[in-house]
């Protein structure tokens, strides 16, 4: 039974669906998907086309908007919107340190999670589409990893799509995870340099914090082991429009005077643990690199291995001279499964996924070259999370895809720039500009 309720300007309906865990075995085990339907209050009785929203990640549930926030306001002018919690996320059947032991040991857990990639998500969408739209095609809006899923959708089931809109999420079609991170670290370094140019006082603040963490064992209140590598990973904020400012505010009050000397303040530690913990989205860490697995080559902790090719990211070496401590970005490392109590029980499971050698392709170049679905993509110039060169190469591989390349926004342009980003994409897809 679906439950409907109201928020300012919108009618929301909770929807639940049952889908196969493995779409190749439709009569086998099932899992549950949760989605929130949203329609403008003044259009609740109208027959509107559908827009399916796929969140970034992997491992994040769909946005929990209040009323008509952000891009949703623009979408509700034209569509009924389905905000889908992709398998394993949000209110869908969960996959985390508490639930995965029900599958068995690490090998069984890894086998289970191998079915949580973009191809399975697309099959989920196609399984629920007839129940939602009555069989009509829908428009997909994919943010970041949701854009990766949209390109998989165009490869696997384009017959289900009326339009595809992608923001910051055009994946490299053939690149191995090593290629992705070799392109990523120079971008990350540029973002850090831009941050220090904006806030030069943060150079010494970051060096002081790094030195403190290298000479002491710091455990945050939630049990997170706060290492210098964990501190550097706070640079993930630099990929968003306001991230540099938020990082600056975090660093400026890091220390307090205590009877034992300067120490990291409780306020700083509280903020750091909230930013670092994967308790609310463990799949992001566990399956992150598997989104780049497409053949017999294991991902093998690519971000960690490739980082060694960029010694300037070694904080200890930076502190032996006067070099700035470099932050890192959207990278997942094996040490995270030691430092984060939400990930520790999943370390062996993640390690098995990292060595897997039977990944199947997520994209079909021939089908994309023959694409007939209107597609528009926002490509954020020097996006820290998705390589611009990879994105533009993919754009050229999808027949009819129109791009909007902009440096006005960072990776979170859909949120920060709404309704402008969605409005622009719709105009491109409709050939109105």
Cα-based distances in Å from 352 to 193, 300, 321: 36, 9, 39
CB 155 within 8 A of CB 362: yes
Structure tokens at 106: 């690490």
Q: Whose CA is closest to 246, among 263, 230, 233, 234?
A: 234
What does the longest C-alpha to C-alpha distance in the chain come to?
70
Give the angle 374-33-357 at the CA atoms, nearest 5°: 75
- Distance, in Å, from the CA atom of 352 to the CA atom of 266, rounded to the nearest integer, reads 37
Q: b/e map of 27-51 (b: 16 or more CB within 10 Å)? A: eeeebebbbbbbbbeebeeeebebb
What is the enclosing helix (H) or strand (E) of 262? strand 261-264
CB 169 within 8 A of CB 143: yes
CB 145 within 8 A of CB 58: yes
- Distance, in Å, from the CA atom of 29 to the CA atom of 45, rounded to the nearest integer, reads 36
Residues identified as active-site:
144, 358, 411
Cα-based distances in Å from 142 to 147, 152, 211, 260: 4, 11, 41, 51
- Distance, in Å, from the CA atom of 309 to the CA atom of 249, rounded to the nearest integer, reads 31
The number of angstroms, rounded, from the C-alpha of 134 to the middle of its chain's C-alpha atoms is 30
Q: Whose CA is closest to 360, among 7, 35, 71, 23?
A: 23
- Distance, in Å, from the CA atom of 44 to the CA atom of 48, rounded to the nearest integer, reads 9
Give the angle 396-115-355 at the CA atoms, nearest 5°: 85
């Amino acid at each position: 039974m679906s439950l409907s309720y109201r928020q300012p300007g919108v009618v929301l309906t909770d929807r639940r669906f049952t889908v196969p865990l493995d779409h190749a075995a439709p009569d086998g085990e099932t899992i549950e998907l949760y989605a929130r339907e949203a329609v403008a209050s003044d259009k609740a009785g109208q027959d509107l086309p559908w827009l399916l929203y796929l969140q970034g990640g992997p491992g994040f549930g769909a946005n929990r908007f209040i009323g008509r926030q952000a891009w949703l306001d623009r979408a509700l002018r034209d569509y009924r919107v389905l905000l889908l919690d992709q398998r394993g996320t949000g209110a869908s059947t969960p996959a985390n340190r508490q639930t995965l032991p029900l599958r068995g040991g690490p090998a069984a857990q890894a086998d289970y999670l191998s079915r949580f990639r973009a191809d399975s998500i697309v099959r989920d969408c196609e399984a629920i589409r007839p129940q939602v739209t009555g069989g009509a095609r829908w428009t997909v809006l994919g943010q970041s990893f949701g854009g990766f899923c949209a390109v998989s959708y165009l490869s696997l089931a384009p017959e289900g799509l009326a339009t595809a809109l992608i923001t910051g999420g055009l994946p490299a079609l053939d690149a191995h995870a090593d290629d992705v991170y070799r392109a990523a670290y120079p971008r990350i370094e540029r973002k850090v340099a831009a941050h220090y140019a904006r806030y030069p006082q943060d150079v010494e603040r970051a060096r002081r914090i790094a030195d403190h963490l290298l000479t002491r064992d710091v455990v945050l209140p939630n049990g997170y082991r706060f290492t210098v590598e964990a501190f550097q990973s706070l640079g993930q904020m630099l990929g968003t429009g306001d991230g540099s400012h938020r990082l600056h505010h975090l660093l400026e009050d890091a220390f307090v005077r205590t009877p034992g000397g300067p120490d990291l303040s409780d306020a700083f530690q509280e903020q750091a643990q909230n930013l670092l913990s994967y308790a609310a989205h463990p799949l992001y860490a566990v399956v992150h690199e598997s989104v780049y697995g497409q053949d017999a080559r294991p991902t093998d902790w690519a971000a960690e291995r490739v980082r060694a090719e960029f010694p300037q990211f070694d904080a200890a070496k930076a502190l032996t001279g006067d070099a700035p401590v470099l932050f890192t970005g959207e990278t997942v490392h094996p040490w995270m499964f030691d430092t984060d109590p939400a990930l520790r029980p999943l370390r062996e499971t993640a390690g098995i996924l990292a060595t897997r050698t039977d990944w199947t392709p997520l994209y079909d170049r021939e089908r994309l070259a023959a694409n007939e679905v209107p597609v528009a993509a926002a490509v954020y110039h020097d996006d820290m999370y998705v390589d611009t060169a990879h994105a533009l190469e993919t754009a050229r591989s999808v027949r009819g895809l129109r791009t909007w390349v902009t440096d006005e926004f960072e990776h979170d342009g859909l949120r920060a720039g709404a309704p402008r980003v969605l409005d622009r994409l719709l105009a491109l897809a409709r050939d109105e500009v």
